[in-house]
Amino acid sequence: MAGIQIGDPQDHNWTYPCSSSDVPSIMVFRPTWDEFKDFNKYLQKIESLGAHKAGLAKIIPPKEWVPRKCGYNLKKDKALLSMKIPNPICQVVNGNRGIFQSINVQKKAMTVKEYADHCKNDGYEPPKYDDYEELERKYWKNITFIAPLYGADV
């Protein structure tokens, strides 16, 4: 079954024949650096445009944004170490050939230390990569084999 591209080709956003027509498409956003600096304000803006109706949105950071080069120092930050993640989400993905189903399973609360220990497990450590594009490709290639655990919305 061939997908039909919708929107800007750089968004890599597709729909498929016979897919539900009452489900909104995932919206893709490209904030400017000034918009991105106040991320909470930007989220309010895109929600006012209906970004939340599909259940998620894709936000492509501006070129000026630089990801953190290393993790948090849990040995020095005791408050962070004991912080609770109330509802970690395990994302179980099934499918192939561009058609996937994602089920989010809510897990029991855990501390940031427990979460960090989980992430250091063999199956969850990031693979070796040369650039972020390669890392993203490897992530999506393996998404049906290893269910990621998210600790967002703390």
In the chain, alpha helices (H): 33-37, 39-48, 78-82, 112-119, 132-142
Mean pLDDT within 109-113: 90
Q: Report pLDDT for 41.
A: 94
Please give the backbone phi and psi of residue 83, each rounded to the nearest 5 degrees, phi first: -60, 140
**Comparison of pLDDT for 3 and 116, the residue scoring more:** 116
Cα separation, 93 vs 126, whole angstroms: 18
- Beta pairing, strands 57-59 & 149-150: unpaired
pLDDT given for residue 5 in this prediction: 67
Cα(44)–Cα(52) distance, rounded to whole angstroms?
10
pTM surpassing 0.85? Answer: no
Query: Phi and psi (nearest 5°) for 104?
Result: -95, 120
Q: Looking at residue 33, what is its pLDDT?
A: 96
pLDDT computed for residue 15 by the predictor: 64
- Per residue in 91-107, pLDDT (tens digit) is 898 888 778 888 989 99
User: Mean pLDDT score of the chain, rounded to an integer?
Assistant: 83
Q: What is the pLDDT of residues 124-144, one digit of tens each?
A: 888 889 988 898 888 888 888
pLDDT tens column, 8-59? 777 666 666 666 666 677 888 999 999 999 999 999 999 999 988 887 888 9
pLDDT band at 75 (very low <50, low <70, confident <90, very high): confident
Whether the pLDDT of residue 1 is over 60: the answer is no
Region for 135 from its dihedrals, namely left if φ exceeds 0, alpha if ψ lies in -120 to 50, beta otherwise:
alpha
Structure tokens at 17: 């024949």
